[in-house]
């Protein structure tokens, strides 16, 4: 009853490519249509969630059309009808943080490092983060995180309500997220 999407590109800190976005978007569409899948778990494993977009891949074909793999993934995540649980350990940069705002349950390691460096890269904050974060955290804290790109820990993410709980380490985080995701297969 549980589909696990694992980002696995350890040599590049799970930096996301167009092919990865495409595969994740397709997997979400498939899971949404499959009645045996009750929930989806997104993880990067016990050491690293994602360092964000692979810059070389991103610059080669920027997502400037609505049918790009990036937008297809975002749309699939946003429109997904079943619970999505995230397990975050280590870095969660850019999309690694903003996609969490669209998950139903989020578990992080205490030492996870989350960051949204969009403005310092000359980019607009993505995936509705400039709308969602002020509603969650208030204008002042959201502005600090989005405009200044201030990093924050998993413990802070849990304290501010971005995550459900912060756990001791990556292994405990993944185990807790998996446990909670599996609970959906027991529900009507």
83-103 pLDDT, tens digit per residue, is: 999 999 999 999 999 999 999
- In the sheet with 39-43, reading across from the earlier edge strand, the strands are 2-6, 39-43, 84-88, 105-109, 165-167
pLDDT at 5: 98
Instruction: For residue 182, give the nearest of 112, 105, 110 by alpha carbon.
Output: 105
What is the mean pLDDT of the segment spanning 33-41? 97
Distance CA 143, CA 137 (A): 9
Look at residue 48 in the predicted model and tell me its pLDDT.
Answer: 97
Secondary structure of residue 35 in the 3-state scheme: coil
Angstrom distance (rounded) from CA 108 to CA 39: 18
What phi, psi does 51 have (nearest 5°)? -85, 5
Q: What is the pLDDT of residue 101?
A: 98
The residue with tokens 């997997």 is 27
Stretch 166-185: mean pLDDT, rounded?
Answer: 97
Q: What is the CA radius of gyration of the chain?
A: 16
This prediction's pTM:
0.95
User: Where does the pLDDT of residue 67 fall: very low under 50, low under 70, confident under 90, or very high at 90 and above?
Assistant: confident
Select the more confidently predicted residue: 12 or 55: 12
- pLDDT (0 to 100) of residue 130: 95
Exposure letters 136-165 (e unless 16+ CB within 10 A, then b): ebeeebbeebbeebebbbbbbbbebebbbb
């Amino acid at each position: 009853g549980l589909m696990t999407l694992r980002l696995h590109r350890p040599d590049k800190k799970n930096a996301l490519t167009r092919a990865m976005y495409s595969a994740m978007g397709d997997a979400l569409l498939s899971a949404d249509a499959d009645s045996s899948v009750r929930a989806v778990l997104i993880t990067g494993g016990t050491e690293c969630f994602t360092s964000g977009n692979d810059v070389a891949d991103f610059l080669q074909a920027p997502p400037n059309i609505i049918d790009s793999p990036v937008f297809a993934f975002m749309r699939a995540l946003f429109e997904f009808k079943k619970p999505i649980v995230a397990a975050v350990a280590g870095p969660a940069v850019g999309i690694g943080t903003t996609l969490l705002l669209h998950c139903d349950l989020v578990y992080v390691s205490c030492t996870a490092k989350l960051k949204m460096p969009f403005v310092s890269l000359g980019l607009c904050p993505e995936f509705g983060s400039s709308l969602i974060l002020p509603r969650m955290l208030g204008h002042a804290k959201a502005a600090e995180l989005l405009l200044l790109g201030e990093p924050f820990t998993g413990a802070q993410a849990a304290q501010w309500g971005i995550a459900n709980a912060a756990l001791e380490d990556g292994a405990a985080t993944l185990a807790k997220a998996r446990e909670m995701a599996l609970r959906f297969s027991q529900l009507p």
